[in-house]
Amino acid sequence: SAVISQKPSRDICQRGTSLTIQCQVDSQVTMMFWYRQQPGQSLTLIATANQGSEATYESGFVIDKFPISRPNLTFSTLTVSNMSPEDSSIYLCSVASGGAPGTQYFGPGTRLLVL
């Protein structure tokens, strides 16, 4: 399994500002993902962070709002830009092993409250 850490663990931000969330993995992984989990809801995939190239975004998520970096195989950042109260959520970093069999592991999450 992979050990994943996220920073910050939680934050309270003012609307209109931006927050960058860091994700660090203890081993090199091919695939890294960013998810959003709104209160009481399931997990929604924001994007796949690709090493050395632009992230692949899911429908409803755009690079201008959620820019992602993946400079190497153990680290990624997600920025939540120009925040509004609707962005209040848990943001989760996840890593997966591709192929068969595959598994997916999650970080502890970043709890964001936008006032």
Partner 1 sequence: GQQLNQSPQSMFIQEGEDVSMNCTSSSIFNTWLWYKQDPGEGPVLLIALYKAGELTSNGRLTAQFGITRKDSFLNISASIPSDVGIYFCAGRSNTGNQFYFGTGTSLTVIP
Q: Which residues here bind partner 1, judged by CB under 8 A?
A: 1, 4, 31, 33, 41-45, 48, 58-59, 92, 96, 98, 100-109, 111
For 6-67, the three-class secondary structure string (H helix, E strand, C coil) is EECCEEEECCCCCEEEEEEECCCCCEEEEEEECCCCCCEEEEEECCCCCCEECCCCCCCCCC
Of 22 and 44, nearer to partner 1 (C-beta) is 44
Q: How far is the CB of 16 from partner 1 (least distance, A)?
A: 27
Q: How far is the CB of 115 from partner 1 (least distance, A)?
A: 20
Of 53 and 59, nearer to partner 1 (C-beta) is 59
Q: Number of C-alpha atoms within 13 angstroms, CB side, residue 75? A: 5
Q: How far is the CB of 101 from partner 1 (least distance, A)?
A: 5
